[in-house]
A and B are shown apart, each in its own frame.
Chain A
Amino acid sequence: MLETDRLILRPLDEKDIDAIFAMRSDPEVMRFIREPQNRDESANWVGLVSSLWATEQIGFCAMVEKSLGKFVGWCGLWRLKETGEIEVGYAVAKEFWGKGYATEAALKFLEYAFEKLEPEKIVAVARPKNAASRRVMEKLGMDFVKTDTFYDQSLVQYAITKENYARNRKAFTA
């Protein structure tokens, strides 16, 4: 479990299926991710993104607002199907948009990933028109790399190297 100023980040499990389904069935939340899903598909997705903690130490967490005790979205790490690079991913329920939660959680996952998994870099992908997600990547200190096919669709890829991450961190804490 990870913690930030405003959020608890804990691995998703079955009790989150209702909250995840509420997000994954919402066409506005899913607009730049994929087609909205039904409850079974949402439950399957929770199982999928929880299945690699034990062997690979990666997966998705619930973002829970500490002072409200509310589920605000998901955030976590995966490895890109096409390249195996570690990626950070996130989504926020509509009522919590625009408050910086995705950036706050994703920054924590960058820290976790660079410390525990020691990759050379961490990437993120999004649909080209997903301006909010791209803005998060920029705030994380990531740079645009390319537009390419990931997960069978055309996505923009951003990345941050461990050197740049260390430099940014130093600047933040200085």
Chain B
Amino acid sequence: MLETERLLLRKFTPEDLDKLIETRSDDEVIKYLGGRTLQNPEAIEKRLQFYMDCYAKFGFGMCAMIWKKTGEMIGWSGLQPLDDTSEIEVGYGMIKEFWGKTIGYECAMAWLNFGFKTAGLERIVAVASPENTGSWRIMEKCGMRYEKTEMHYGMECVFYAVSKDEFTAKEIGK
């Protein structure tokens, strides 16, 4: 669906299930993703179906994150509806070996660009556990602003948002 300098973000297929489960099997990786409450094989299988349903419904959805250099799937990233709100969120996550390489930022910026310029969205949000400083620094770097703290995905989350106008204004100012 999208390509960045180092990544390919392509739609998931049913064949990705085992690999997706594998990328979400490390306790440290899922620590801020709801732990086993959300990240267990049964729930991940349903979640994968949800991702695929999104493509037809919205024209976008959570995608597989492919490390171009090796072709390996190292995580996931994309746009999707947030819970049962009418908001669209940007999300990203990857296996530990790829932490600290600003990959999350690279994806998030690509999706914000896509969301505002191609998909015609007016606003994009992101949520993360308050302890997940890595994630909310990415949100800030992307020009998102903190709005509130509320419950999503079975945990308390910081909630960030950016409008199309704010995002494009920041781009022009560069």
Task: Give me the interface of A with B, judged by CB distance under 8 Å.
Answer: 44, 47-48, 50-56, 78-85, 117, 119
Contact = CB atoms under 8 A, between A and B. Distances in A.
What class of interface size applies to chain B in its complex with A?
Answer: 20 to 34
B52 to A, nearest CB: 15
B120 interface: no
A80 B84 CA distance: 23
A51 B36 contact: no
Interface of B: 35-43, 46-47, 50, 83-84, 150-156
B151 A81 contact: no
B40 A84 contact: yes
Contacts of B42: 84, 117, 119
A81 B153 CA distance: 13
* Residue from B42, B83, B150, B154 with most neighbouring chain A CB atoms (10 Å): B154
A44 B130 CA distance: 15
A51 B40 contact: no
B155 A82 contact: no
Nearest to A87: B37
A80 B151 contact: no
Nearest to A50: B151
A51 B153 contact: yes
A23 B46 CA distance: 34
A83 B39 CA distance: 9
25 contacts: A44-B156, A47-B150, A47-B151, A47-B156, A48-B151, A50-B151, A51-B83, A51-B151, A51-B153, A52-B37, A52-B38, A52-B153, A52-B154, A55-B153, A56-B38, A78-B37, A80-B36, A81-B36, A82-B35, A83-B36, A84-B36, A84-B37, A84-B39, A117-B42, A119-B42
Contacts of A117: 42
B155 A56 contact: no
Contacts of A80: 36-37
Contacts of B36: 79-84
Contact of A79 (B37, B155, B156): B37
A143 to B, nearest CB: 21
A51 B43 contact: no
Nearest to A120: B42
A48 B155 contact: yes
Contacts of B43: 56, 79, 84
Nearest to A83: B36
Considering residues B35, B37, B84, B156, which has the most beta carbons from chain A within 10 angstroms of its beta carbon?
A: B37
A119 B153 CA distance: 20
Contact of B155 (A50, A51, A78): A51
Given A54-B83, A56-B43, A119-B42, A48 B37 contact: no
B137 to A, nearest CB: 24
A153 to B, nearest CB: 15
| Most interface-central of A80, A83, A84, A85 (chain B CB within 10 A) | A84
A111 B39 CA distance: 23
